A and B are shown apart, each in its own frame.
Chain A
Amino acid sequence: MLEIKNLQKSYGKGAPVLKDLNLTVRGEQVLSVIGSSGAGKSTLLRCINRLVEPTSGTITLNGTDFTTLTKKELRMERRRIGMIFQSFNLVDRLTVMENIQSGRLGYISTWAALTRRYPKEDIRKAYQLMERVGIAHYANKRADELSGGERQRVGVVRALMQRPEILLADEPTASLDPKTSEQIMALLRSLAEELDLPVIINIHNVTEAKEYSDRIVGMRYGKIIFDDLPDALNKEQMDEIYSGTPAEDRQAMGAAA
């Protein structure tokens, strides 16, 4: 269970990007976060594994408070959170297998990593997962030889190699064509069920969000203003989530303050 309490994030002295945000995610559900650009979706996701340092508040994953960890502890605990990215963030010049095994870098020794001597069990697991997502025959290809959808599958497998307790997906389909995008969403959906894994997805495509998630959270300017089942999301709420622009909101806030 992931529990976010009173999360606040401001960059410098400006108005906060996340304002007193509370969110609880329980096992095996796909949760989609929607909202216009600049609403704070990406910051929220990055605060969870502290790629972005939260200003205040607590983030607890199955009993571990992530916000109080030291640098070394954080490195160990980050293994429990898998992340996939909009631009895939694969290492282009390495093989698919190396990319996938880089999900295990938090577990294996630096020497084993440098010499590419991966544990047998990890290699077995990698092939098994690659088979599952349909990229098994690409193990020795360089990552930049793959198509967008295939690259994102590598990204998914890399994250799963961590044996994560939760999966964060930061706009995983935004660089993909509509058909591939649906395939990746369906894949995340079915993996969540198979592995009993909660998945949080930042997404711009509301139709896909409604189709593939169990729950939708709508953010507008650092706050959650909608949190319900996909079917409960109607026209008025959509308009409210996407109304105005963050810049206007910020100005209004400034005037009020």
Chain B
Amino acid sequence: MSAMSKSGDSTPVVTDHWKKPPFIENPIIRYGVMLAVFAYLSITLLTLPIDWQRAAEGLERASRIFGGAFPPSFERSGLLIKGFLESFKIAILASVGGVLLSVPLAFMAAKNIAPKSIYLLGRGIIIVARSFHPVIVAILFVKAVGFGPLAGVLTLVVYSIGFVAKLLAERIEEIDFGQVEALKSAGASFIATVAYAILPQIMPRLVGLGIYQLDSNLRASAVVGIVGAGGIGATLANAFGRYDYDFALAITMVIVGVILISEAFSGVIRKRIS
């Protein structure tokens, strides 16, 4: 308005430049934050204990390992297949068990379904399941139940719960509550309401998560095997321990191949469902 009156005559003043307002408005804070981030990164990099000489030696050692790894040896393919079959078993058992446990947990951890105290319990269990990396969980289970596939299955059940129950709970919180209201107003029991109004809504997500988790568990089973929880990971760790780098490379190649295939499979299936 003031611009209009200043110009006096009939031609209105047109503003023709505009700048996106900065993310942090106060310039002192804005430049301060940038400076602080830069300073912290430089200090960390300068004070990090890096033994350059050792790193240089490592390069040489790495070349020796790679040299020993070529050509990959499939001589003991029997051992390789056995390890893989065990990994598959671990992944499948863990996925089925994890998903079965995740469904009730997800209902417990959904704000719109569960009473406050149960909600907190459910969320608590999920947070605990999520807070440790599977390798750490695997170390605990190997200590508890000994080396072998059982430790692997238990580890991946925990890992599956952390992922599937959390995302499923979030899906339950997003449901169209009108359908629940409709069944409530018909006098349906809680279980009937869950079965008719909630499960059909979350089913596609549940199936998608289950398939994704199977794929993810297969990958993770190779990693937790290295700390003693059975499967192909254990075979790989043994091969490294015995300096059989050529066999180790063969195992790694097969792991990559299998994971690519399983990822493609799960991608196709999940696309079909949604």
Contact = CB atoms under 8 A, between A and B. Distances in A.
B186 A79 contact: yes
A76 to B, nearest CB: 6
Contact of B186 (A92, A94, A106): A106
A66 interface: no
A141 interface: no
A9 interface: no
B179 interface: yes
A169 to B, nearest CB: 12
B229 to A, nearest CB: 37
Interface residues of A, number: 32
Contacts, number: 83
Nearest to B181: A51
B200 interface: yes
Contacts of A83: 182, 185-186
Interface string B172-207: 000010110111111111011101110011010000
A100 to B, nearest CB: 11
Contact of A75 (B181, B187, B195, B203): B187
Contacts of A77: 187
Given A85-B178, A90-B179, A105-B192, A78 B200 contact: no
A205 interface: no
Interface residues of B, number: 21
Contact of A114 (B176, B186, B195, B201): B195
Given A91-B197, A105-B186, A85 B192 contact: no
A81 interface: yes
A83 B181 CA distance: 10
A218 interface: no
Contacts of A107: 187
A110 interface: yes
Contact of B201 (A82, A87, A91): A91
A202 to B, nearest CB: 14
Interface string A211-251: 00000000000000000000000000000000000000000
A86 to B, nearest CB: 9
B185 A105 contact: no
Contacts of A81: 185
Interface string A92-132: 11100010001111110010011000000000000000000
A89 B186 contact: no
Given A85-B182, A110-B192, A113-B195, A93 B200 contact: yes
Nearest to A108: B192
B203 to A, nearest CB: 7
Contacts of B179: 89-91
Nearest to A84: B182
Given A93-B203, A110-B191, A51 B185 contact: yes
A104 B203 CA distance: 23
Nearest to A164: B186
Given A51-B181, A113-B196, A162 B188 contact: no
B83 to A, nearest CB: 41
Contacts of A158: 182, 186
Residue from the set B176, B192, B195 with the largest chain A CB neighbour count within 10 Å: B192
Contacts of A155: 182
A93 B178 contact: no
Contacts of A92: 200-201
B187 A89 contact: no
Nearest to A49: B185
A174 to B, nearest CB: 13
Contacts of A105: 183, 186-189, 192-193, 196
A210 B196 CA distance: 37
Contacts of B195: 110, 113-114
B181 A103 contact: no
Nearest to A86: B178
Contacts of B181: 51, 85, 89
A162 B182 CA distance: 12
A71 to B, nearest CB: 10
Given A93-B201, A105-B188, 20 more contacts: A78-B185, A78-B186, A79-B187, A94-B200, A102-B183, A102-B197, A104-B186, A105-B186, A105-B187, A105-B196, A106-B186, A106-B187, A110-B189, A110-B191, A110-B192, A113-B188, A113-B192, A113-B195, A113-B196, A158-B182
What 5 A-B pairs are tightest by C-beta distance, nearest first? A106-B187, A105-B188, A89-B178, A89-B182, A79-B187
27 contacts: A49-B185, A51-B185, A75-B187, A75-B189, A83-B186, A85-B182, A89-B178, A90-B179, A91-B197, A91-B201, A92-B200, A93-B200, A94-B200, A102-B183, A102-B186, A104-B186, A105-B186, A105-B187, A107-B187, A110-B191, A110-B195, A113-B188, A113-B195, A114-B191, A158-B182, A162-B186, A162-B187
